[in-house]
Every structure is written in C-alpha cells, then in structure tokens.
Amino acid sequence: MTANPISLTVFLLLFVFVALLGFFATRWRKADLHSLHEWGLGGRSFGTILTWFLMGGDLYTAYTFIAVPALMFGAGASGFFAVPYTVLMYPVLFLFFPRLWSVARRHGYVTAADFVRGRFGSRSLALAMALTGIVATAPYIALQLAGMQVVIAAMGIPSNWVIGSFTLPNMPLVAAFVVLAAYTYASGLRGTALTAIVKDLLIYATVLTAIILIPSKLGGYGKVFDAIPAKSLLVARGSDGNLGGTFAYSSLAVGSLLALFLYPHSVTGLLGSGSRGAIRRNAILLPVYSLALALLALLGYVAVAAGVKSMPEYAQGFTTFGNNFAIPALFLHMFPSWFVGVAFAAIAIGALVPASVMAIASGNLFTRNVYKEFISPNCTPAQEARIAKLASLTMKVIALVFVLSFQTSYAIQLQLLGGIWICQTVPSVLIALYTRYFHPVGLLVGWAAGVVAGTYMAWTLSFKSSTYVLHIFGLTIPCYAAVSALVLNIVLGLVVSALFNMVSRGPRMDETVPADYR
C-alpha cells in the first residue's frame, strides 16, 4: 500500500501539533515539575472540564477505537459488552472515588497502594497492590503501540527506512515512541491533559462523521442491520441447567466495571482532579463517552454491511492485523483522503494520551511503593520525581520492545490477564474505602488466591478467552474469570480475616480517620 500524500500530510500536521502541545505544557500553569506531586498528578489542580477530557482520553484508547468495532465485526453482539459496562461503572465512580480523592489529598497519597499502606499499615499488602498495577498496565501500554502500528500500516507509511546501506526497522513506530517518551518525561500529567483535549475532539469528529456518512452511503441503518446475520445480533441465551452466553456477557460487564477505575492510569487521572466535586460531576458527564463508544461499536456492523472483507485494503492488512484492520479499511474505502488523515491522526493521538498516563501511573507506583518504601525511604521530592520519570520511560521502552519482538496476540493475552489481576484489588481498595473489617493477612491471602485462580482459568483457555465455565451443583455457569476469582478472593479474605480478628489484640494501625473521607 502506497501512502497518499494528502492523508499523510494531514496526519503528520496534526501529530506534530499535538506533540508540540505536549511540550508546551511545561510552561502551562507553571509549576515545579521536579516534584512528584506536580509531575505525576498535575498538582491535583484539574477542574471538571479538564478532568473530563483527561479521563475520556485515558479510558477510551486507540486500541478501544480499533478493537471494539473489530470485535463486533468478527464476533457480533457479544462485543457490545463494552457499552453497558462503561455506563454502569459511573455509579461506582460517583460513590467510591470522591472518598479516595479526599483521603489521598489529606495524606498526600499519590497511588492507590499509598492508600492501602496507610489504611492497613502493611508494606507487603501495599507492595502486592503496586506490583499488580504495574504488571497489569505494561501490556496495556503495548496495546496502544500496537494500535498505532495498525494506523501506520493503513497509512501506507514504510515500516523500514533505508539510509544508504543501512536499513532501520520499524522507524515510524520508534519515532512516535520517542515523541511520546520525550513529552511525557518533560511535562508529566499536564502534557497529557492538554493533548487529551485535541484527541477527544478529533475522536468525536471522526465518530460522528462516520456514523452519519457511511450508513447513509449504504442506504441507512435499516440496510446495515439487514446485512447482519441474525445470530450476530443477539447474545446466546441460556437453557435448563446452563446460564448461557447472557450470564457470561453480564459477568464480563460486571468484572470490567469493577476493574476499570482501579487501573493505575484511572486512579492517576482521578487524583489529579482539583476537588471531589469535580469527580462527581464527571461521573455525570463521562457517560457521553459511552454514547460515543456505542456509536463506535456499531461501525463493526457497518463494516460488515459495507463488505469490508472483499475490499483490497482489508486484504492487505488482514494477514498481519486480522479483524483489527476492519475499521481502517472501512475509512480508507469510504472517506476522502484528507479526512482519512484526520481519522487516523485521531487514532494515533488516541494511543499517545492513554500510553502517557499509563506510563506516568506506573512511574508513580514504582517510586512511591517500591523505591521509597524499600530502597530509599529518605529520598527527597526531587529524587522521587526523577525516579518516577525514569520508571515511566522504562515502562514505555519495555512496551516498545514487546511490540517489536512479539506478536500482538501476546500483548492481548497479557492484557486479558491484567484485567483479571487488577480486579483482585477490589477488596483492598474499593471495599476498604468503607470498612476495615478485612485483616491485612486476609486481604493478602484472598488476593493471592484470586490471582492464581484467575490465571489458572485463563491458562486452561489457552489465553484465548476470559469466560471460564463453572459446574456447580449440576448448573453450568459460563462466567468472566475475573469475577469467579474475585468471589474466591473475597470469601477467603473474609474467613482469614475473621480468624485473625478473633486472635489479634489491640487496634490495628490505620493512619486515616472517618473525617478524612469526607
């Protein structure tokens, strides 16, 4: 595929503009970026609108833009689970996270693991939470780079650059990585917040244009749905003795909504807010992104109706990217060259923003809960910030090497595990915001059991699915592995906590008080 000069020019202009905006953030709301509080959380100063853009840019990623409609394109209605769970998660945000923001601001917590350390006085439990977050985030960053790979291929940009007798492989992706690494290192969360504004505006422009223009060219949505096989429009129902696909669908939505805001990048975006009111207002405003996601998901059906599988653009990308090439192929076929540049820039920038927040969040976790806790307890704020920057850079390098060295399917498999693992932090973070009944030992035992059980379930499925079938009292229950593992986690945590609470004497350490949560 040869690069179209118009598409390429538009794409590069937008990409360069966003990169410069990221560097400009070092001068915006000028602050001491040698402080982790400023570099890693933006000084906890973002208002309602900026938090809205940041969280939207953080949660709705480039890989979401490609993978959700691709799942609808390949698997049908089951891929729509992402829409109800992004609606249902906002009541969780409204109820739980203003409390986390309040206690974090009162005690200077930068990460969720900081809160766990203060709430339970357990370094081991806090370390488990931090490592879970870091390990679960790494493949997420890799997937953003993988999404950018799809865009680069769709643009027709040569992957290998020849300079004289030297061949430089994967240079477009490496160049994009250098831009990401440089502006993240320089400006921290401020740069990400500014670029998120442009990313979100481009995404909305692209989605709204696509869902209006393309179906109209195909004869309307009635024609689109007529082209979809009936079995692809509904999730398989259960039967006697089998709860069926509808239960699996529901459990996947429940597990995903519990996990999403516990990912380190979500926590970082929320703790960067200037007030708990900003978080609550965002719990009301952010569902607008769910509407955009629903429209985006429908593009998977539009791609089927448009006959993407017979398009030469799809054939050229299918062997490498599979169904993930469906939406880029649809855009290439249906849009004029200049708008293809806009749409692909939206996806590429949609990779930069969340990858940046993920790297920052991982740097915060390593610095606060590994380096400062176990290696250098007396480090200065400047040392904290420097280590966080280096750790975030290291995470991005690991993600780049992974994408360049292994198949994208491996990153998808690891991200599947990451969702299972991050769900096991629910008792130590979410539930702990309301009660300290759990004993730290009980939480550790439950967490370990949940991680092992969830990993085992995914392993028995060859890491190709997250729906593990349980057989309980003659009833067949297909359930999201993260939810099954979380139930085991909570039950074991309650039993062990009850035992330790009976034999322990005196109050346990808790540096928080009820007033801190209000």
Please give the torsion angle defined by the CA atoms of residues 120, 125, 131 and 133, in that order, rounded to the nearest 10 degrees: -50
Q: Please give the model's pTM, rounded to 2 decimal places.
A: 0.92
Q: What is the pLDDT of residue 486?
A: 97
**Residue partners of 116: CB distance under 8 A and separation at least 6:** 122, 125, 126, 129, 428, 429, 432
Neighbours of 74 (CB within 10 A): 17
Q: What is the pLDDT of residue 228?
A: 85
Which is it for the CA torsion 10, 12, 17, 21, positive or negative? positive
Neighbours of 70 (CB within 10 A): 25
The Cα 326–Cα 319 span in angstroms is 12
Q: What is the pLDDT of residue 411?
A: 65
Domain boundaries, given as residue ranges, for the chain: 5-408
The Cα 320–Cα 23 span in angstroms is 34
Q: Which residue carries 């291929």 as its tokens?
A: 153
Q: Would you say domain 5-408 falls under CATH 1.20.1730.10?
A: yes
Q: What is the pLDDT of residue 309?
A: 84
User: If the chain, 518 residues long, is cut into consecutive pieces of 10 residues, what is the mean pLDDT of each piece?
Assistant: 82 88 76 83 90 84 79 80 82 93 95 96 95 92 83 79 64 82 87 88 89 90 86 70 78 87 93 93 89 86 88 73 83 90 88 88 96 93 93 90 74 78 96 93 97 94 86 87 96 95 79 92
**Residue partners of 87: CB distance under 8 A and separation at least 6:** 287, 290
Token code pair at residue 505: 């004497």
The Cα 308–Cα 317 span in angstroms is 11
Q: Which residue carries 């380190």 as its tokens?
A: 264
The Cα 114–Cα 120 span in angstroms is 10
